[in-house]
Amino acid sequence: MQKLDLITDFAEITHGAAITTPTHGWRAKCLQRLGRLDMPVPRTVAVSAAAVQAIAAGRSLDCAGVLACFGPDALVSVRPSPENPEWGGPSTVLNIGMNAARHAGLVLTHGQAAADALYLRFVQGYAVHVARLDPDMFEIAEPSAQALRDALRAYRDEMDEPFPEDPARQLAEVLRSMARAWAGTSARLLRQSKGAPEDAPLGLVVQEMVQGMGQGLSGTGVIQFIDPVTGLEQITGRFVGQSQSTDLNDVCEEALYLTRDPRGPSLEDLAPEIFATLARQGAACRAKLREEMQIKFTIDRNSLAVIDAVRVPRSSRAGLRIAVELAQDGIITREEAILRVEPRALSELLHPQVDPRGPRDVVARGIAASPGAATGRIVFSSAAAQASESRGEACILVRRETAPEDIRGMHSAVGVLTERGGMTSHAAVIGRGLGLPCIVGASDLSFDAKALTITSKSGRKFVEGDVITVDGTTGEVLAGATEMLPPALDDAFRTLLSWADDVRDIGIRANADTPADALVARNFMAQGIGLCRTEHMFFEEARLVAMREMIFADTPADRAAALARLLPMQRDDFVQVFEIMQGLPVCIRLFDPPLHEFLPHSREGMRELAEALDRPLSEVIRRAEALAEFNPMLGMRGVRLGIVLPEIYDMQAQAIFEAVIEVARRGGSIVPEIMIPLVSARREVELVKTRIDAVAARVRTAKLTDFAFKLGVMVETPRAALRAGDIAQHAAFLSFGTNDLTQMTYGLSRDDAGRFMNTYVQQGVFPEDPFHILDVDGVGELLLIGAERGRQTREKLTLSICGEHGGNPESIAFCRKAGFDYVSCSPYRVPLARLAAAHLALLDPNDGN
Ligand code: PEP
Ligand code: MG
């Protein structure tokens, strides 16, 4: 009667058994595939996920039935088999079934020492992991007959019963403990952090042990056929004599080389036939399992068994190369290769490195936790990082250690430096996830959280705002900015992205403000520039002076004179940008920020300015005060400035047109796109358009040549989105500036939101920071309204997004579904966007244009 209650939901893994990943987990399925490839896999039984769930709920498996699948003297192991290998699982338990009788048998086959060691190991593992006894009581340095007796006695003393002799009971207890561990809170949280659903199932595999201990060549090893960091072909792994599979995790000096090596004996030397078999099996795995696998094998008295195989754990770089090479070898399709590479993983490959040829002013060293290098100003809090980002200023977030609430600050920083932590600390894990250069555990820097300083061992002190460079590849913190090398984009990277370009159906442009940005954009194969913020061209020293003269001009004539000095500089920039982009579209945004941003803020700066302009300090101060606004972001900026001081836009238009002519003279060609910022009414566009047309006519006449250009509008105010139908009468294109549009839709300052954003997100007011992840419900609705109304007026209206959201896969999906022509994002996000767009085209082919 009782037997009827036992669960019998298990199956021996034979070639034809009905084993599937959802029912039995990936490991069970993988072992079946290895068996089908005729690999010497020991007999294995798969316990279904449903059975494991029932065991966790208190029911029992028919363990005698499971063991009947094996020989009468077999020992078995139990390994976890979740649906996805990334989700982990409870630790493997080996040598189940060991008791006095089997120990005696093993003494005959494997010798006394091996038999004692195996029995002892089982007692230890069982006592600690299954009976949950104190590990200290079972810590034994050297296995011996005495140590075994001690361990058995310690078990009996603690549990008030002898160590269980019945293999079925042992197995039942192991299964119960593994099922419960999987159901426990910490395991659940851990796997959820790796993307597992809350109720992710766990299968288990019970496998006949191959000892790896005893006479002849015996031991356990792992072998893989690619370098896990680069993805290049190379045999790596280890083999440890007289060992079992769990020993491979220990550091062990006696490990053998796998391939022939001048430094010592290798498996290839000692067992060339076994080595050759493994190499053949690796190739078979690659071809038939369509993956680079790491094979775990045991050699028991000269005979080989393959006990397990997993996908080779790999860096992003290696993952990309593996996918490309599998496709190039015809093992998987190009589409599959594209889908195998997670777009966000690309950012790790894209970061600049410190140029080794340049000087390095090293002030501290830490753990190189996330590769790439970045230069920025020190900030000590996430709020400061967010404020810095909204000012367009690169910053390095410096913390004692980071916590989950720092995630928004990390998003805003170009690099992270922490005093504490290791490779798996929060900063390191998140830094790698974001592709953010990161150094952790820089303990030779002393961090004063009150005074907001960091001090190097040699006494050099750094305060907020100081510029440092974080070299996340070497773990070195450098003072100041350094020469950087552009990222190494290898052939595999380029190949994958060219395949992605073949399938995607939405354009990807870059936001690039300077010729240097344009070069990066071009290097990453952006299809043009979607936003060139021209004011960024004015911040260089010489230009700033002319700019300030323009701001302080008393009369239109004075202003025209100052602008005349800016014109050639701006024209030269445009010539360079156009030439770099080689005919690809370039969308230039006319001057946008409030003028006071160009004035000095300190008294000292004002004095210097007074000197440079040859005016009294009091007048400079008065004029600066007159420019101050209560809400500068909602004041005289964007097109409002263009209408009140139209000479600025006139100069910019002239510079653009003259640059077009110059590029044409040099044999190139470009149709520039001129974009008017911060529009809220059609009349604004009409006024600017009339002047720009007039400038174009003047330049055409003066230069006796013709050229074309497009005029469009940047939709950054809710009113512009609502009135897009009207506005589109004068606009060839609309580009949604979702930074300002988010700011204005929420009535939430971009510069101040950092102060309370964490609280808002924590309390669920906003699901996410809307400046980081596009608010599809609110801002998104304005985008849809604007797009629809704009296209009603002008069917061929070009639509795009150019706010910071442009590079997020979620926003790309939204824009693609809404029928936008392209997204524009920062140059370093272009590859990610290209790949994300390809994923969307492959996964949702009906959503695209
Ligand atoms: C925007 O507002 O979305 C935008 C791209 O412009 P800026 O960030 O320069 O205001
Ligand atoms: Mg804007």
Least confident of 100-109, 667-676, 750-759: 750-759
Mutate which of 391, 513, 533 to test ligand 1's pocket (most atoms within 8 Å of Cβ)?
Answer: 533
Instruction: Please list the residues that pair with 461 across neighbouring strands.
Output: 455
Q: Whose CA is nearest to atom 10 of ligand 1?
A: 740
Q: Is the pLDDT of residue 620 over 80?
A: yes
Tell me which ligand sits closest to the C-alpha of residue 591: 1
For 474-523, how does the pLDDT look when each residue is reduced to its tens digit (9 = 90+)?
899 999 999 887 675 789 999 999 999 999 999 999 999 888 889 989 98
Q: Looking at the whole model, is its pTM more than 0.85?
A: no
Domain 504-535+563-591+643-847 class in CATH = alpha beta
Based on C-alpha coordinates, what's the Rg of the chain? 33
Q: Whose CA is nearest to atom 5 of ligand 1?
A: 803
Location of structure tokens 């690999």:
39
| Distance from residue 511's CA to the centre of ligand 2 (Å) | 12
Q: Given this model, what pLDDT does residue 506 score?
A: 97
For 539-596, how does the pLDDT look when each residue is reduced to its tens digit (9 = 90+)?
776 788 888 889 888 888 889 999 999 999 999 999 999 999 999 999 999 999 998 8
| Distance from residue 738's CA to the centre of ligand 1 (Å) | 7
List, by residue range, all CATH 3.50.30.10 domains of the chain: 358-484
Residues lining ligand 1, judged by CB closer than 6 Å?
531, 533, 592, 716, 737-740, 802-803
Among the CATH numbers 3.40.50.300, 3.30.470.20, 3.10.450.100, 2.60.260.20, which is that of 219-314? 3.30.470.20
pLDDT confidence tier of residue 1, bands split at 50, 70 and 90: very low
Q: Given this model, what pLDDT does residue 137 score?
A: 87
For 802-834, how does the pLDDT look when each residue is reduced to its tens digit (9 = 90+)?
998 898 999 999 999 999 999 999 888 899 999
Region of 312 please: left (phi>0), alpha (psi -120 to 50) or beta. beta
Share of the chain above pLDDT 70, in %: 96
Q: Is the pLDDT of residue 2 over 60?
A: no
Mean pLDDT of 307-312: 92
Q: How far is Cα of residue 771 from the mean position of the Cα atoms in its chain?
A: 19
Annotated binding site for substrate: 533, 589, 716, 737-740
Answer for the pair 754, 387: CB distance below 8 angstroms, yes or no.
yes
| Distance from residue 490's CA to the centre of ligand 2 (Å) | 35
Mutate which of 739, 749, 782, 829 to test ligand 1's pocket (most atoms within 8 Å of Cβ)?
Answer: 739
pLDDT confidence tier of residue 349, bands split at 50, 70 and 90: confident
Answer for the pair 590, 534: CB distance below 8 angstroms, yes or no.
yes
Answer for the pair 695, 650: CB distance below 8 angstroms, yes or no.
yes
Catalytic positions, written as ranges: 426, 802
Give the C-alpha separation, 294 to 535, whole Å: 53
Answer for the pair 503, 842: CB distance below 8 angstroms, yes or no.
yes
CA atoms within 13 Å, Cβ hemisphere of 170: 24
List, by residue range, all CATH 3.30.470.20 domains of the chain: 219-314
| CATH code assigned to 6-208 | 3.30.1490.20
Q: Given this model, what pLDDT does residue 348 score?
A: 67
Least confident of 6-15, 233-242, 266-275: 233-242
| Pure H helices in 370-443 | 382-390, 407-412, 426-434
Mean pLDDT of 631-647: 93
Location of structure tokens 């980071």:
402
Top pLDDT among 435 and 760 is at 760
What percent of the residues of the chain are helix, what percent strand, and what percent coil, each to the nearest 5?
Answer: 50, 20, 35
Q: DSSP of 391-409, one letter per residue?
A: TT--EEEEESS--GGGHHH
The CATH H-level (homologous superfamily) assignment of domain 358-484 is Phosphohistidine domain (3.50.30.10)
DSSP state of 85: G
List, by residue range, all CATH 3.20.20.60 domains of the chain: 504-535+563-591+643-847
Tell me which ligand sits closest to the C-alpha of residue 805: 1
Q: Which of 242, 235, 196, 231 is nearest to 80 (CA)?
A: 196
| Distance from residue 738's CA to the centre of ligand 2 (Å) | 7
Give the C-alpha separation, 58 to 172, whole Å: 11
| Distance from residue 390's CA to the centre of ligand 1 (Å) | 10
Most confident of 212-221, 755-764, 811-820: 811-820
Least confident of 73-82, 124-133, 135-144: 135-144
Q: Whose CA is nearest to atom 8 of ligand 1?
A: 739
Q: Is the pLDDT of residue 372 over 90?
A: no
Q: Whose CA is nearest to atom 9 of ligand 1?
A: 533
Mutate which of 529, 531, 805 to test ligand 1's pocket (most atoms within 8 Å of Cβ)?
Answer: 531
Residues sharing a CB contact under 8 Å with residue 505, sequence separation 6 or more, in sequence order = 816, 837, 841, 848, 849
Annotated binding site: 533, 589, 716, 737-740
